Amino acid sequence: MSAKTPVGVLGATGAVGQKFIKLLENHPWFEVTEVAASERSAGRRYEDAVAWKQVTPIPDAVRSLEIRPCTPDLKCRVVFSGLDASVAGQIEEDLARAGYIVLSNSKNHRLDADVPLVIPELNSDHLGLIPIQRRNRASNGYIVTNSNCSTMFLAMALGPLHKEFIVEKVLVTTMQAVSGAGYPGVPSLDILGNVIPYIGGEEEKMEIETRKILGRFNGHSIDLADFAVSAQCNRVAVEDGHTESVSIKLGRKTTAQEIAELLAVFSGPPQQLQLPSAPGRPLLVMTAQDRPQPRFDVNLQHGMAALVGRIRSCPVLDFKFTVLGHNTIRGAAGASILNAELLKAQGFLD
């Protein structure tokens, strides 16, 4: 590979956009050459327009880029979308139609019948929807999406279990970090010393996206996985890291020990292809009885793994466990980037 693939970031000044820019700094395959945002920011230098909220400085290569509008003049074929859902739907569709390959972190097209909702370790075969999508929409470009942040870690933990034992029922209660709400996001007066037992739309996303991800590509479309998911989503005073308490019913007898071993050795295409952003182990099984914990564990594996702990029997269903992941890395920007790496490795960017 002689030169890096130029890429653009849509919604580049927002929370997810910033994370794209941070994670793509020094990326071996991709190079941010375009930053796009709303008309209000367009025309300004990136560093002047952004309220940068990362703990490392703005990458030098991006600092002085001029912000462009999100229109089909961007000089790159691949774009990462951190656009707000209020505008993402149309913009992403327009760009795909104009030939761009859109890696979207927004909810808008995740459930479109011809759009892949991909976790590379689990369902890389869903990329088979790409030619169908192109044909359907008579476009050269296409859209590939990653899941909602809290869905990500649930789906990652369920993936190997569903394959091996058939998941039949899932109950999940989340304790989600404030960074999941973007910036300015959750007012401090609402969350200091508090739990907010409601996150708009989040439960519905978890209940359906999980089933699409773990569904089966039948050559034409995705058959949703045949199990019910019930989610209760809470916001807590944590900066980064969504913690989830999960209970499951499985189609076949097993033990907590077997589950732990299955998850611990699990790997998929990103590991086999050694994709640059792939975690060495997508599922890190922790044995200390009080782990995983967001403050101490969220950055393990560069924030790209799902951390699983407390696997034990459930008196009502079969098993229960805790899963944790970094909501703005593996749960958002990092997921899109891993998807793009998979696309490149499999020739979809050519």
Rounded-to-integer distance, Cα 289 and Cα 22, Å:
33
> Binder to a second copy among 108, 151, 322, 339 (CB under 8 A)?
322
* C-alpha torsion sign, points 252, 306, 176, 215: negative
Is 201 a binder of a second copy (CB under 8 A)? Answer: no
Q: Residue 19 or 68: which CB sits closer to a second copy?
A: 19
Is 137 a binder of a second copy (CB under 8 A)? Answer: no
**Structure tokens belonging to residue 26:** 């020094």
- Bridge partners of 228, per DSSP, are 169
Is 198 a binder of a second copy (CB under 8 A)? Answer: yes
**Beta carbon of residue 293, minimum distance to a second copy (angstroms, whole number):** 5
Is 196 a binder of a second copy (CB under 8 A)? Answer: yes
Tell me if residue 149 is catalytic.
yes
> Binder to a second copy among 24, 170, 222, 284 (CB under 8 A)?
170
CB atoms within 10 A of CB 279: 23
Q: Which of residues 16-75 bind a second copy (CB under 8 A)?
A: 53, 55
Dihedral of the alpha carbons of 26, 346, 207, 204, in degrees to the nearest 10? 60
Rounded-to-integer distance, Cα 319 and Cα 201, Å:
27
Alpha carbon 224 to chain centroid distance?
A: 19
> Binder to a second copy among 64, 90, 140, 188 (CB under 8 A)?
188
Q: Which of residues 233-292 bind a second copy (CB under 8 A)?
A: 234, 236-239, 241, 243, 245, 247, 289-292
Tell me if residue 242 is catalytic.
yes
Stretch that binds a second copy, among 72-80, 120-128, 178-186, 339-347 (CB under 8 A): 178-186
Burial of 219 (0-12, 13-18, 19+ CB in 10 A): exposed
Stretch that binds a second copy, among 32-40, 76-84, 139-147, 189-197 (CB under 8 A): 189-197
Rounded-to-integer distance, Cα 177 and Cα 175, Å:
7
Which residue in the list 109, 162, 242, 326 is annotated as catalytic? 242
Rounded-to-integer distance, Cα 248 and Cα 242, Å:
19
Q: Residue 104 or 247: which CB sits closer to a second copy?
A: 247
**Structure tokens belonging to residue 209:** 């996206």
CB atoms within 10 A of CB 86: 9
Q: Which of residues 291-310 bind a second copy (CB under 8 A)?
A: 291-297, 299, 309-310
Is 140 a binder of a second copy (CB under 8 A)? Answer: no
Rounded-to-integer distance, Cα 63 and Cα 76, Å:
18
Is 186 a binder of a second copy (CB under 8 A)? Answer: yes
Which residue in the list 149, 162, 233, 326 is annotated as catalytic? 149
Rounded-to-integer distance, Cα 148 and Cα 230, Å:
15
48: which residues sit within 8 A by CB, 6+ positions away? none
Q: Residue 25 or 207: which CB sits closer to a second copy?
A: 207
Interface residues with a second copy (CB under 8 A)? 53, 55, 169-171, 173, 175, 178-179, 183-198, 207, 228-230, 232, 234, 236-239, 241, 243, 245, 247, 289-297, 299, 309-310, 314-317, 320, 322, 324
Residues annotated catalytic, as ranges: 149, 242
